[in-house]
A and B are shown apart, each in its own frame.
Chain A
């Protein structure tokens, strides 16, 4: 299987919302190439007819009764917010001006 290029790492960092520095990109690309080379061994089993396991417990949807329960107050919920206003999280602009 192919390794990973610096360009791919830059793309993945953008997707992951990580504003990496140039030297970090160089370093991570090199290290990730080694790691991917090592973990690619799992593809040995790719062709085998084996069901995948996503979770150790055979659970499906776990439901509870839809009842009002005690919960955090707005003050508590906002207590860790970098910025809050009128009982809401205040965030930087999400949409452009125009």
Chain B
């Protein structure tokens, strides 16, 4: 039965549909795996054993009655603890929400449930999704299954680690500056940031509303596509939801053909700060795409060098406003309410006790960037940079179908190395941020191990908004060619836990 945890989501769903295995057995196998390894990995903040088995049994009953099952029915999933789940704790990795039980499901949560997906539990994350290492969680860091002394990326480190540790074949992340793609890159898994507005944000606890986007995490490109189709689509409960059909991502993932596609290599994402082994694997991927029949050209996006500074003004600005809701009045922690203190004092004491360092830094930074006297120079300029970045993308996509780059400048760094050096930490998002600022679609998939440290390297593919299918077309072809070359998937090289 240990094999069940190594199945892809697609294999799991068809085995369940064919009656070769029950959804309850699949769920139990994953719960057992979590029980066996998660003390070491710490991918999960909450395991919902009862809820998972109940959902699995419902799929089995449906099948017994001869009802048609969806393409992911009975497949277990690890949900980032930033989406609300009715009756199941949601903390966002923060002490300020410790013990909070949401009274409603996020749209994404309901869609997963409707699809018969079995939610195993909630995964660890940097507090309110602010970070690139999951070290900012109030509930302790998550280990990278490739080397438990290293970070699994962030903010969605728990979701990525759960996949790499075979605790779940599917996971959900959110990507504000790279929080799906960067954890995917450093754990040897696949992560996709869909086009902004295509996955509902209703019930996603807001960090930076104009950047946040939920998306699929998986061990294969096809599995990511199946999950993408299950969660994407118009939602009237999200005022920024796009009312348009979801691109045919599953079909694209199965094509495995890039002949005739034009692919641009972003010139700016190389040079100082980029690890040699990362660049080596990236350059090999470029060659591979040429061999597979794509036309590869170099593309310049000069404004991308200002993306990181613009992001670290825009995201904290929006966060400083969004996190004002944690006022100790309606939900969450309340500290110092002894009958003598005012509401304002209780709010300030609660936020001091309930928020961690990175959240406090960003709230202060955002408040600074939005204050009169600095607004034009900082926030106003950052918004102009955002326009320039979109223009760079538009110019690039006039000549190529997709852009590619390394997902991250380096492989997974040791836990603790950048924990108290915010600027060093922020550099992990260098290549992923432009897509959030422009709102387009991007994927990271594994492209090998860096020779110097034997740790996974991610290849980033970027497509224009609403052309998410191109990510899967290119990703599916690269994945198939690499698996052929290696004779196995990259994760099979991960050490046993």
- On A, residues with C-beta under 8 Å from B are 1, 4, 8-9, 12-21, 24, 28, 31-32, 34-36, 38-46, 48, 50-57, 59, 62, 64, 72, 76-77, 79-83, 89, 91-94, 96
Contact = CB atoms under 8 A, between A and B. Distances in A.
A42 B351 contact: no
B298 to A, nearest CB: 24
Contacts of A82: 328-329, 331-334, 337
A32 B365 contact: yes
Given A19-B352, A50-B388, A72-B104, A93 B343 contact: yes
B179 to A, nearest CB: 17
A44 B327 CA distance: 37
Contact of A92 (B104, B337, B378): B337
A56 B88 CA distance: 32
Nearest to B323: A16
B310 interface: yes
Contacts of B383: 52-54
A83 B334 contact: yes
B365 A17 contact: no
B330 A18 contact: no
* Candidate in A19, A44, A76 with the most chain B CB atoms within 10 angstroms: A19
What are the 7 closest A-B residue pairs judged by CB atoms, nearest first?
A56-B439, A52-B383, A80-B331, A82-B334, A76-B103, A53-B386, A39-B309
20 contacts: A12-B368, A16-B351, A18-B360, A28-B361, A35-B423, A36-B368, A39-B309, A40-B377, A43-B381, A46-B376, A46-B380, A50-B387, A51-B384, A56-B210, A56-B439, A80-B101, A80-B331, A83-B334, A92-B339, A92-B341
Contact of B351 (A19, A38, A52, A92): A19
Contacts of B342: 92-94, 96
Contacts of A50: 384, 387-388
* Candidate in A13, A17, A50, A94 with the most chain B CB atoms within 10 angstroms: A17
Given A72-B103, A81-B330, A92-B342, A18 B363 contact: yes
Contacts of B240: 55, 57, 59, 62
A79 B103 contact: yes
Contacts of A28: 357, 360-361, 364
Interface string B407-442: 000000000000000110010000000000111000
Contacts of A19: 345, 348-349, 351-352
Contact of A57 (B196, B327, B333): B196
B381 A38 contact: no
Given A36-B365, A40-B309, A44-B381, 8 more contacts: A18-B348, A20-B360, A35-B426, A42-B309, A55-B210, A81-B330, A92-B342, A94-B343
A79 B101 contact: yes
Contact of B384 (A15, A16, A21, A45): A45
A18 B381 contact: no
B330 A16 contact: no
Contacts of A62: 239-240
Contacts of A48: 384
A52 B386 contact: yes
A35 B333 contact: no
Contacts of B348: 14, 17-19
B236 A64 contact: yes
A20 B368 CA distance: 16
A89 B330 contact: yes
Contacts of A83: 334, 337
B368 A31 contact: no
* Candidate in A40, A62, A79, A92 with the most chain B CB atoms within 10 angstroms: A92
Nearest to B339: A92
B483 interface: no
A32 B145 CA distance: 33
Nearest to B364: A12
B248 interface: no
A24 B239 CA distance: 38
A18 B345 CA distance: 9
A92 B343 contact: yes
Interface in B438-457: 438-439
A1 B381 CA distance: 13
A69 B29 CA distance: 41
Contacts of A44: 306, 381
Contacts of A81: 329-331
Contact of A18 (B328, B352, B377): B352
Given A46-B380, A64-B236, A32 B387 contact: no
A44 B486 CA distance: 47
A72 B203 CA distance: 14
Contacts of B347: 17
Given A36-B368, A42-B378, A43-B377, A53 B390 contact: yes
Contacts of A59: 239-240
Given A24-B360, A77-B103, A80-B100, A39 B312 contact: yes
Contacts of B361: 28, 31-32, 35
B330 A80 contact: yes
Contact of B197 (A20, A41, A57, A94): A57
